[in-house]
Amino acid sequence: MWKPDRRSSTPIYLQIADRLQHLIAEGEYSPGSPLPSERKLAELFDVNRSTIVQAYTELRAHGLIESRPGSKTRVSLHQGRDQGALPPEWHRYAENGVFLPNVPFLRHIREALAQNPSIIDFASGKLSLNLSPVQEINEIMRNCVYQPEPENDSLLGFPPLRRALAAFLQKYRGINVSPDSILITSGSQQALYLITQCLLSPGDAVAVEAPSYTLSLSMFQSAGLRMYRLPVDEYGVRPEGLRTLQKKYRIRMLFVNPNFQNPTGTLLHEERKKLLLETAGKLRLPIVEDDQFSLTAYGLDSPPPLKAETDAVSTLYIGSFSKIAASGLRIGWIVAPASVIRRLSDARRQMDLGFSVIPQQIAAKFMASQYFDPHMDRLRRELILKRDTTAEALRKHLGDLVEFTVPQGGLHLWCRILPEVSDSRLLDEALRQRVAFVPGSVYGSGPGYMRLTYARPNAEDIEPGISRLAAAVRTAVRAAAE
Amino acid sequence: MWKPDRRSSTPIYLQIADRLQHLIAEGEYSPGSPLPSERKLAELFDVNRSTIVQAYTELRAHGLIESRPGSKTRVSLHQGRDQGALPPEWHRYAENGVFLPNVPFLRHIREALAQNPSIIDFASGKLSLNLSPVQEINEIMRNCVYQPEPENDSLLGFPPLRRALAAFLQKYRGINVSPDSILITSGSQQALYLITQCLLSPGDAVAVEAPSYTLSLSMFQSAGLRMYRLPVDEYGVRPEGLRTLQKKYRIRMLFVNPNFQNPTGTLLHEERKKLLLETAGKLRLPIVEDDQFSLTAYGLDSPPPLKAETDAVSTLYIGSFSKIAASGLRIGWIVAPASVIRRLSDARRQMDLGFSVIPQQIAAKFMASQYFDPHMDRLRRELILKRDTTAEALRKHLGDLVEFTVPQGGLHLWCRILPEVSDSRLLDEALRQRVAFVPGSVYGSGPGYMRLTYARPNAEDIEPGISRLAAAVRTAVRAAAE
Ligand SMILES: Cc1ncc(COP(=O)(O)O)c(C=O)c1O
Ligand SMILES: Cc1ncc(COP(=O)(O)O)c(C=O)c1O
């Protein structure tokens, strides 16, 4: 028997409306036939009657059902027509297209977090609210003047932002490019999407880090790409296998996140960077370098990007503001040769026609403002504190059961559980204890790994959070041993 | 011989850098070999030497070439490697993927407009700057507070905006929906994109109006859809052929822009709306209703959307702020059944991960503010004025050569040239006369049609603009007759 899912973020009444629509579309209730009474349905689905009233209102708004005063609610007849008409089979349509649904684990965590604010969140891969420069952004916004045109009318993005970015990349990342080699995107997610959609074709083979960033994995699958994995260890991705992979599967592109990788937090070793560039150069293989986290480096200097190497001709470079300032601005960028920029910007136009000017104005100003350096300093200090608190709490509460390398930058800590556990069992147990993490298998690793985004919870919640997590781990380990 | 394109919006130096990169990639200049001197190249390409210096700087930044003091500029050798390495063949990559390039006519017009601000623009399908509520938006922005979370964290878009939209759709469009049936998109362009990507599969057949909105046409082609056309006359699209088309080609979806259509400006007749809904209902065929222009109606009432009909169960409804307020906000929406919303929002996440909050905050406030109705009143008044000026000028300067119906809403006037002309000849001539329009063939019509977006030029430029256009038409007609 179908029941509404109380842990879903979709309101119950909509789940019910959806279910009824499905039954109507399937012919379970035919045009003109009466529907069960509100009371009956409320019983059936184990909800309040008011929820059924809401669901019926929704269906009525969509013209699926009709009620007349004093008579039962019925499936619409579409009066005045010779034959009964039915709505399109929406749920069938929703199964079309090339997009695969996102990872169920992530949906589950997301829904749990939406449902229960007391869950301590080590799962969402982003900064806690108080690490975002909210006041600074508000200060800048107050002084922003919305000027729709003509400067913003470029297919590549708001020209002042691209100029500010060229200066930024030069100053902070040692990358030397003209503003016309930069395309603005809705976060680096869109940059990745554009690359897979415009520079590759379904069936193409790509090499990815194992483990690596989930949403790129689902996106690659949706794009019909064949993925081959290069293992990541504590010095980052291992480049030795690249040549063999390439020869064997005709790899057409390599995706890496070299500095403080998501999810492992590792920094790609200098020697490996050299070898990677060298191999890619010889194979004429494009490297997509996803450089999200470098500026968070806890040491003195940010590690250089591959793109900054003097001969980094193989690199498409992408970055964004999301992990160092405000993901709500949705400002990302891609640095690429002119032919690639042209192609991507042309396609981008078909997808969403253009850019929202205001976030671009704000980003340009923030980047060049006196706020930027102090913000980054504060961010680094807070991240170090959070990392230390997390590592300490892990040692204290779980020292005998886990293994991890202390990250030197980024937002994430990658933690291996030594005894055997079931990922889904552990996640369920953790959510029951009101703490969230992401199981490593989501990123393509074997079982028994957790990604802990220590940047996300508030500092004072970290120790209690890890303590809850420890309880969950112990329960799951015990269960696995039984 | 290749030369830079001076009418292109790509800077000359980048065109040259691109060309050289191409030649290097093709092996024309091999690794380590010297490149022509700056002076020599300047002569060859007929540009200033400083332009070549810029192009070389660009290539050097990308590591493609190297210069040492006192010696010639050379193609990079990638020293320290046993074999010469080459950059990836970027231009080949840029030919991949499913996106077809956008229409050349449009690119050409775009570049001309960017190049020469004295061109009077009847081509860009949007409002003139002074019709956008820029001051109102600035006023609202000054009072906006950027609040990253948690309210904005919905996969469907900023909840307050969805609530404001539900009220807006009820009040202005007679559409009764809950906020959870609304997905926010980056303009209606993204709504169309999501529909084609998620609800249809390559090879599926769709029915479209002929003529119809260009960027949707290229997008449909890129998505691998087969398009079948339903002709539009002065009462809008003709629904009679739908059933036959459907039976013959298994049409899976119908796309219409019923009220003040782009490009023809026509309003779909009430009887036809009924017939369309009836036919679609019987066939269980989804109609995608693109409702951009209704609120501009010059008469007393906005024509109702298909979606407002009591039995509009077949309709996916999309709209945006672009044509009635500010396209720079990039705020669009789609109203759909729950199963469809779920599918689209899930896929959207893979494309760009989320929403920029600020434009959504602004749109929500603007929509519900005391600014909205006065803005719409002013917009309508100004559009009527511009339409009248355009129609009068056409009659005066071209009365003997053209035929058109005076639109009752929207931004566009569709104009047929009676004698034979060549579209490309006419466009070239018009641009030479410093006036721009879009040839009808871009929208899939036969030759000899022009779309004139009277909303776009400033009011005082309309009469001189049409006078220039008249000169161009007469020249092109004469040329065709010779
Ligand atoms: C490695 C990596 N790349 C890209 C992204 C996408 O982020 P955004 O689109 O916000 O820039 C993320 C977000 O988690 C990430 O971790
Ligand atoms: C009929 C129609 N639909 C959709 C769009 C896309 O506009 P936007 O994405 O700005 O809402 C346009 C823009 O010209 C249009 O004319």
Assign 3-state DSSP to chain B and report helix, strand, coil percentages, each to 5. Answer: 50, 15, 40
Q: How many other β-carbons are positioned within 10 Å of the β-carbon of residue B118?
A: 6
pLDDT value at position A81? 38
Nearest to A282 among B63, B85, B222 (CB): B85
Please determine, for residue B104, whether its predicted confidence score (pLDDT) is greater than 70. Answer: yes
| Range picked from A218-222, A343-347, B44-48, B448-452 for highest mean pLDDT | B448-452
Greater confidence, B327 or A211? A211
Section A200-227 average pLDDT = 90
pLDDT value at position B148? 76
The answer, yes or no, to whether any atom of ligand 2 lies below 6 A from the CB of B290, is yes
pLDDT band at B80 (very low <50, low <70, confident <90, very high): very low
Closest ligand 1 atom number to CA of residue A322: 10
Give the least confident one: B27-41, B144-158, B229-243: B144-158
How far is the C-alpha of A221 from the C-alpha of B229, rounded, in Å?
A: 33
Handedness of CA A272, A274, A275, A277 (dihedral sign): positive
Section A353-379 average pLDDT = 93
Q: Which residue has the tokens 């036969």?
A: B446
Please determine, for residue A230, whether its predicted confidence score (pLDDT) is greater than 70. Answer: yes
Please determine, for residue B167, whether its predicted confidence score (pLDDT) is greater than 90. Answer: yes
Beta bridge partner(s), residue A259: A267
Interface of B with A in 261-320 (CB under 8 A): 278, 281-282, 284-286, 309-314
Give the least confident one: A15-19, A151-155, A302-306, B440-444: A151-155
pLDDT digits (tens, 9 = 90+) for B262-281: 999 999 999 999 999 999 98
Q: Fill in the amino acid letter for B207.
A: A
pLDDT digits (tens, 9 = 90+) for A72-97: 888 876 533 334 567 788 878 888 87
Greater confidence, B365 or A100? B365
pLDDT band at B152 (very low <50, low <70, confident <90, very high): low
Please determine, for residue B372, whether its predicted confidence score (pLDDT) is greater than 70. Answer: yes
Mean pLDDT, chain B, as a whole number?
A: 90
Q: Fill in the amino acid letter for B255.
A: F
Please determine, for residue B105, whether its predicted confidence score (pLDDT) is greater than 90. Answer: no
Please determine, for residue B62, whether its predicted confidence score (pLDDT) is greater than 80. Answer: no
Q: How many residues does chain A have?
A: 482
Greater confidence, A71 or B326? B326
| For testing contact with chain B, the best of A91, A351, A365 (most B CBs within 10 A) | A351
Residue of chain B nearest A148, judged by CA positions: B328
Three-state secondary structure readout of chain A = CCCCCCCCCCCHHHHHHHHHHHHHHCCCCCCCCECCCHHHHHHHHCCCHHHHHHHHHHHHHCCCEECCCCCCCEECCCCCCCCCCCCCCHHHHCCCCCCCCCCHHHHHHHHHHHHCCCCEECCCCCCCHHHCCHHHHHHHHHCCCCCCCCHHHCCCCCHHHHHHHHHHHHHHHCCCCCHHHEEEECHHHHHHHHHHHHCCCCCCEEEEEECCCHHHHHHHHHCCCEEEEEEEECCEECHHHHHHHHHHHCEEEEEECCECCCCCCCECCHHHHHHHHHHHHHHCCCEEEECCCHHHCCCCCCCCCHHHCCCCCCEEEEEECCCCCCHHHCCEEEECCHHHHHHHHHHHHHHHCCCCHHHHHHHHHHHHCCCHHHHHHHHHHHHHHHHHHHHHHHHHHHCCCEEECCCCCCCEEEEEECCCCCHHHHHHHHHHCCEECEEHHHHCCCCCEEEEECCCCCHHHHHHHHHHHHHHHHHHHHHHHC
Chain B contact present for A247, CB below 8 A:
no
Q: Residue A289's closest CA among A315, A308, A324?
A: A315
Closest ligand 2 atom number to CA of residue B320: 11
Nearest to B314 among A88, A339, A355 (CB): A88
B340 neighbourhood in chain A, CB within 8 Å: 90, 93-94
Please determine, for residue A218, whether its predicted confidence score (pLDDT) is greater than 70. Answer: yes
Q: Residue B253's closest CA among B212, B211, B216, B207?
A: B207
Please determine, for residue A332, whether its predicted confidence score (pLDDT) is greater than 70. Answer: yes
Please determine, for residue B33, whether its predicted confidence score (pLDDT) is greater than 70. Answer: yes
Give the least confident one: A104-118, B80-94, B359-373: B80-94
Looking at the CA of B257, which ligand is closest? 2
Please determine, for residue B208, whether its predicted confidence score (pLDDT) is greater than 70. Answer: yes
Greater confidence, A379 or B114? A379
The answer, yes or no, to whether any atom of ligand 2 lies below 6 A from the CB of B257, is yes
Interface of A with B in 84-103 (CB under 8 A): 85-91, 93-94, 96-99, 101-102
Please determine, for residue B311, whether its predicted confidence score (pLDDT) is greater than 60. Answer: no
How far is the C-alpha of B201 from the C-alpha of A397, rounded, in Å?
A: 51
How far is the C-alpha of A340 from the C-alpha of A316, rounded, in Å?
A: 9
Section A366-371 average pLDDT = 95
Q: Which residue has the tokens 């998620």?
A: B198
Closest ligand 1 atom number to CA of residue A212: 1
- Rg (alpha carbons) of chain A, rounded to whole number: 26
Considering only CA atoms, which residue is closest to atom 6 of ligand 1? A189
Please determine, for residue B391, whether its predicted confidence score (pLDDT) is greater than 80. Answer: yes
- Rg (alpha carbons) of chain B, rounded to whole number: 26
A282 neighbourhood in chain B, CB within 8 Å: 81, 83, 85
Looking at the CA of A293, which ligand is closest? 1
How far is the C-alpha of A333 from the C-alpha of A338, rounded, in Å?
A: 14
**Hey, what are A285's tokens?**
């293989």
Q: Return the half-sphere exposure (C-beta side, CA atoms, 13 A cut-off) of residue B284.
A: 14
pLDDT digits (tens, 9 = 90+) for A390-401: 999 999 999 999
Q: Fill in the amino acid letter for B434.
A: R
pLDDT value at position A85? 60
User: Is this model's pTM higher than 0.90 or not?
Assistant: no
The alpha carbon of A244 is separated from its chain's Cα centroid by a whole number of angstroms, namely 31
Largest CA distance in chain B: 80
**Hey, what are A471's tokens?**
């309880």
Interchain CB distance below 8 Å, B94 and A343: yes
Please determine, for residue A101, whether its predicted confidence score (pLDDT) is greater than 90. Answer: no
Interchain CB distance below 8 Å, A201 and B338: no
Greater confidence, A14 or B326? B326
B292 CA to centre of ligand 2 in angstroms: 7
Beta carbons of B13 and B51 less than 8 angstroms apart: yes
Greater confidence, B337 or B191? B191
Greater confidence, A2 or A241? A241
How far is the C-alpha of B172 from the C-alpha of B305, rounded, in Å?
A: 10
How far is the C-alpha of B353 from the C-alpha of A214, rounded, in Å?
A: 12
Q: What is the dihedral of CA B190, B193, B197, B200, to 10 degrees?
A: 130
Predicted complex ipTM: 0.83
Burial of residue B68 (number of CB atoms within 10 Å: 0-12, 13-18, 19+) = exposed
Report the pocket of ligand 1 as residue ranges, CB < 6 Å: A 125, 187-189, 213, 257, 262, 290, 292, 320, 322, 327, 332; B 353
The answer, yes or no, to whether any atom of ligand 2 lies below 6 A from the CB of B320, is yes
Please determine, for residue B203, whether its predicted confidence score (pLDDT) is greater than 80. Answer: yes
pLDDT value at position B85? 60
Q: What percent of chain A has pLDDT over 90?
A: 61
Please determine, for residue B83, whether its predicted confidence score (pLDDT) is greater than 50. Answer: no
Interchain CB distance below 8 Å, B193 and A148: no
Give the least confident one: A209-223, A420-434, B257-271, B404-418: A209-223
Chain B contact present for A167, CB below 8 A:
no
pLDDT value at position B9? 63
Burial of residue A44 (number of CB atoms within 10 Å: 0-12, 13-18, 19+) = middle
B325 CA to centre of ligand 1 in angstroms: 32
The answer, yes or no, to whether any atom of ligand 2 lies below 6 A from the CB of B187, is yes
Mean pLDDT, chain A, as a whole number?
A: 90
Give the least confident one: A301-315, A406-420, B321-335: A301-315
How far is the C-alpha of B471 from the C-alpha of B454, rounded, in Å?
A: 18
Q: Which residue has the tokens 């298994």?
A: B250
The answer, yes or no, to whether any atom of ligand 2 lies below 6 A from the CB of B292, is yes
pLDDT band at A146 (very low <50, low <70, confident <90, very high): confident
Interchain CB distance below 8 Å, A352 and B141: no
A376 CA to centre of ligand 2 in angstroms: 39
Interchain CB distance below 8 Å, B328 and A64: no
Closest ligand 1 atom number to CA of residue A327: 10
Q: What percent of chain B has pLDDT over 90?
A: 62
pLDDT digits (tens, 9 = 90+) for A445-457: 989 999 999 999 9
Section A292-301 average pLDDT = 93
pLDDT digits (tens, 9 = 90+) for A113-143: 988 999 999 999 999 999 999 999 999 998 8
The answer, yes or no, to whether any atom of ligand 2 lies below 6 A from the CB of B332, is yes
pLDDT value at position A311? 56
Interchain CB distance below 8 Å, B88 and A314: yes
Q: How many other β-carbons are positioned within 10 Å of the β-carbon of residue A284?
A: 17
Interface of B with A in 222-241 (CB under 8 A): 222
Interchain CB distance below 8 Å, B141 and A137: no
